[in-house]
Amino acid sequence: MSTHTTAPPKTRPPGTPETTGMDAPTKDGVGSSARRPDGVPKVTGDFAYSSDLWAEGMLWGATVRSPHPRARIVSIDISKALALPGVWAVLTHEDVPGRKTYGLELPDQPVLAWDQVRYEGEAVVIIAAEHPETARRAADRVTIVYEELDPITDPEAALEVGTDALHPGGNLVRHVPIRSGDQDATADVVVTGDYATRMQDQAFLGPESGLAVPDGEGGVDLYVATQWMHVDLGQLAGSLGLTEDRVRITLAGVGGAFGAREDLSMQIHCCMLALHTNRPVKMMYSREESFYGHVHRHPARMHYEHGATKAGDLVYVKAKIVLDGGAYASSSTAVVSNAACFAAGPYNVPNTTIDGYVAYTNNPPCGAMRGFGSVQVCFAYESQMDKLADALGMDPVDLRIRNAMTTGSRLPTGQKVEGPAPVKELLESIRAMPLPPATPAGPLDLTRYPGGVSNTTHGEGVRRGIGYGVGFKNIAYSEGFDDYSTARVKLWVSGGEPIVEVHTAAAEVGQGIVTVQMQIARTELGVDQVVVLPADTQVGSAGSTSASRQTSMTGGAVRRACIAVRMRVLQKVVGTLTDDPGDLSLNGGKIVSDSLGMTLDLAEVIGAGSFEETYEYHHRKTSPLDPETGQGDAHVAFAFSAHRAVCDVDLELGLVKVVELATAQDVGKAINPQAVEGQIEGGSAQGLGLAVMEEIQIKDGKIMNPSFTDYLIPTILDMPPMQIDIMELGDPDSEYGVKGVGEPPAISSTPAIVAALRDASGKPLARIPVRPDDFLDFISSGDD
Amino acid sequence: MEGAEIVRLNLRINGQPHEVDDVWEGESLLYVLRERLGLPGSKNACEQGECGSCSIYLDGQLVCACLVLAGQAEDREVVTVEGLGGSNDLHPVQEAFLEAGAVQCGFCTPGLIVAAHELLSRRPDPSESEIREALAGNLCRCTGYEKIIDAVSLAGRKMAGGST
Ligand code: FES
Ligand code: FES
């Protein structure tokens, strides 16, 4: 791995003092690959995930779900279930104490369905019993009579006039139009294409789970794996009919998230059962239930038209994107906005006509997944760029570089890109990286061929291809949302040593935000010992662990709170060492006068007291999009990445082997380089999955493959070695210049892999995941 | 539980004898470890033999604890991740996973550590391909596996260095 180093960010928020720690790195501070504090318990098995929780007298919850994608509920009979020994509660919609519906953006989803079900797997009845098997048996004894209705499973059909409305406002969840430049522009060379991406599952390994403990006074404590406790809290308290102070949420260990824990799953159900039985209740989904228990990545159908001059300058892009939102809104309104805003890619396009639609259907609900609307369009626009390069007889990377966005470029929304936009540099970096050898070196190694140890080829019929992809997306929340994070930092002395306590509600989902908080506190306060308290709702909101935002938002809040603490400590010694606080810094447990070269012991200065500050970090204001033209400065910052893929295809069997991935990404500033690499590798693997294997197969509204037997995610045999170039170009608007890291790798990897497969096979491959049949001339791929 | 057969189970876990009462005959060994014996280190990402997060040793053989009925473990010897090393005496495999950055959410980690331990016990210096083949049954959704491969190689070197 090579690392570009550049100057620190050019601008700082006014009044922010310089950090000495940046010049003289503190041990395990910012910029080091500090070890994660939860690492030891995770390797010994001691780390308490939400599914590991246990309480004395605990009951087990279970959920009865609809077997139909669309039906009217005629009757619900729970009497036989309730009669089963060991069953403590069987609850229906009638038992929901507060608001009967919930939702991230629109409260359109029933806590428990009453008159109708809109997707297969919708929750109708919940049960608490002494043993999980008893709960399952009770579930079998609940009798629900349904009147089945024809499901609406095609999002385009859902939007046609005359189709039944699945919700009172009709089936259109949101339409985002974007118009820029000349709507009638014409061009020398025009390429069109229809592209489709299928439904992807986040497939975190730690199942949805939590433990609700009644407090005996009508309130409840919930320990749960989630991404944003405060937004859970609002929905939870509302549906429980309790004020927010009577519901306390503590983050339990989270076994991965990737967007799937943004929406509620078992939270309200588990608390209802606990409050009803007055006993602790644990709920834990099985893997099969998990496929029904969370939202997925929106499938997309995308029609594109690109126009360019003969020389290869983009003249216009027209795009129509239709997302299948499934049965409930979740975060669809924001996902479609992203899909539309980034539909033209990281390129300068003077004229654009973009329409993004998201529709209600009776398919499983779709919402947040890593990349959030940017993934689908990146596959389409990068496929188009390759097609255009082909039509122009140009090298595909040269075409991209020729049209690449730079700082100062404008999005189709009219927004100017203020920070670094190193599209050209990223592409040049990966193009210059060495290519893997043409044939595997050494003795025959089946794992290196398509088909692997199935021993289907030793290289016969195998052709290699190379493909490129570049993508981008917004960091943090957009369209005028007041996005913020809160940090409380306390400095005191314990056992003669200064110690820093950091408290935020930022959800650690595996990415390493706890480590980042510790690193920042060490650097800003020059103290070795830092404790990050468990994340809970006893401190202000940290916002969501999503949108690649926690390192910049919660990292920013922690840094600013530390700076406030530092100013107070230094105020205490102004006049002792020097009259100029700007001459003082904190390092190695000392207060250092930079000019006098003198130090004071920090612990002595703090003495018996403590210094505590809370800081609420807000990002720069954004604006809504104009509802007719889509114009507006809707986003705060952008992150870019590029991938090169080398793939082998067995053209006789349609089997593929991704041989290598090379990537370059601008992360602004790598707070923890090892963790940054981990994000890039993990995100790239998820992009690989979407390219060649991951699809929730839906037939007539029903999931055909709700298991890891049939829904395949990349294994260690599927994931190739990577070359990584981390650029640190410093965003002018964030603390330390950080940009989000997590999502971009999941965006640009997919189109690069598919481009390599096209290069190897000459096939159009307009739908992902690519299937073996797509390579074979004698088989028609069927449905599209 | 109504109509269910309840058994008593005797087995050795991590070197200690255990007697477990009131086990329903349908319970998996994984359930008994996690819910009855307070050993939740073995994970439950699929409970159908597809993910490897529940990997343990049963009489020295690497198995998925979710696929073993508790009754099948009667009188047998079980070793779980908790038995490989604790926070004060980490096994070199555990140490290597930390050093290489192979742990993110960590849900796959205990199973991978047991599986890597098993590989290294029969192949002290595995090639990259051997590592990939041996760990092909262990899913990880976070890391993209690069650092897991690094960790296993590193663990092999640490063990050859004689630290355990
Ligand atoms: S939980 Fe046993 S293999 Fe997945
Ligand atoms: S670290 Fe999360 S599944 Fe492997």
Q: Give the model's pLDDT for residue A778.
A: 67
Q: What pLDDT, in 10s, does the model give residues A691-736? A: 999 999 999 999 999 999 999 999 999 999 999 999 999 998 899 9
User: What is the complex's ipTM, to 2 decimals?
Assistant: 0.97
- CATH match of B6-83 with 1.25.40.10: no
Tell me the average pLDDT across A128-139: 97
Cα–Cα distance, A773 to A761 (Å, whole number)? 12
How far, in Å, are A157, A321, A325, A354, A628 from residue A161 at the CA level?
A: 9, 18, 18, 22, 21
Q: Of all atoms in ligand 1, which is nearest to the CA of residue B44?
A: 1
- The answer to whether the CB atoms of B110 and A715 lie below 8 A apart is no
Q: Of A648, A669, A661, which Cα lies nearest the Cα of A749? A: A661
Q: Give the model's pLDDT for residue A194.
A: 98
CA distance A122 to chain B (A): 21
Mean pLDDT of chain B: 95
Tell me the average pLDDT across B62-70: 98
pLDDT at A27 over 80: yes
Helix (H, G, I), strand (E, B) or coil at A427: helix
Confidence band, pLDDT 50/70/90 cuts, at residue A399: very high
Q: Which of A25-29, A184-188, A719-723, B27-31 has the lowest mean pLDDT?
A: A25-29
- The answer to whether the CB atoms of B146 and A677 lie below 8 A apart is yes
Task: Name A503's Cβ contacts closer than 8 Å, sequence gap at least 6.
Answer: A487, A488, A489, A490, A532, A533, A538, A539
Tell me the average pLDDT across A160-175: 97
Q: Give the model's pLDDT for residue A7.
A: 35
Q: Which of A100-114, A431-445, A725-739 has the lowest mean pLDDT?
A: A431-445
Domain limits, chain B: 6-83, 92-159
Q: Give the model's pLDDT for residue A310.
A: 98
Domains and CATH numbers, chain A: 2-30+484-618 (3.30.365.10), 50-149+208-284 (3.90.1170.50), 300-478+624-775 (3.30.365.10)
Q: Give the model's pLDDT for residue A750.
A: 98
Contact (CB, 8 A) for A672 and A516? yes
pLDDT at A22 over 60: no
Residues of chain B with Cβ-Cβ distance to A287 below 8 Å are: 45-48, 50
Mean pLDDT of chain A: 94
Contact (CB, 8 A) for A632 and A623? yes
pLDDT at A16 over 50: no
Q: What pLDDT, in 10s, does the model give residues B82-125? A: 999 999 999 999 999 999 999 999 999 999 999 999 999 999 99
pLDDT at A110 over 50: yes
Tell me the average pLDDT across A593-610: 91
Contacts A–B by Cβ distance under 8 A: 199
Q: What pLDDT, in 10s, does the model give residues A462-500? A: 999 999 999 999 999 999 999 999 999 999 999 999 999
Q: Of all atoms in ligand 2, which is nearest to the CA of residue B103?
A: 1
Helix (H, G, I), strand (E, B) or coil at A703: strand
Choosing from B53, B54, B104 the residue with most ligand 2 atoms within 8 A of its CB, the one to mutate for a pocket test is B104
DSSP state of B43: -
Q: Give the model's pLDDT for residue B5.
A: 83
pLDDT at A17 over 70: no
Q: Give the model's pLDDT for residue A9.
A: 31
Q: Give the model's pLDDT for residue A596.
A: 84
φ/ψ of A83, rounded to 5, equals: -80, -15
Q: Give the model's pLDDT for residue A13.
A: 34
Percent of chain A with pLDDT over 70: 96
Percent of chain A with pLDDT over 90: 91
Contact (CB, 8 A) for B42 and B4? no
How far, in Å, are A548, A596, A732 from residue A226 at the CA level?
A: 16, 50, 31
* CA B92 distance to own-chain centroid: 15
Q: Give the model's pLDDT for residue A579.
A: 81
Nearest-CA residue for ligand 2 atom 3 is: B140
What does CATH list as the number for B92-159?
Answer: 1.10.150.120
CA distance B12 to chain A (A): 18
Confidence band, pLDDT 50/70/90 cuts, at residue A441: confident
pLDDT at A23 over 70: no
Task: Name A169's Cβ contacts closer than 8 Å, sequence gap at least 6.
Answer: none
- The answer to whether the CB atoms of A677 and B46 lie below 8 A apart is no
CB atoms within 10 A of CB B21: 9
Q: Give the model's pLDDT for residue A439.
A: 75
Confidence band, pLDDT 50/70/90 cuts, at residue B2: low
Pocket of ligand 1 (CB under 6 A): B 44-47, 49-54, 64, 66
Q: Give the model's pLDDT for residue A384.
A: 98
Contact (CB, 8 A) for B14 and B42? no
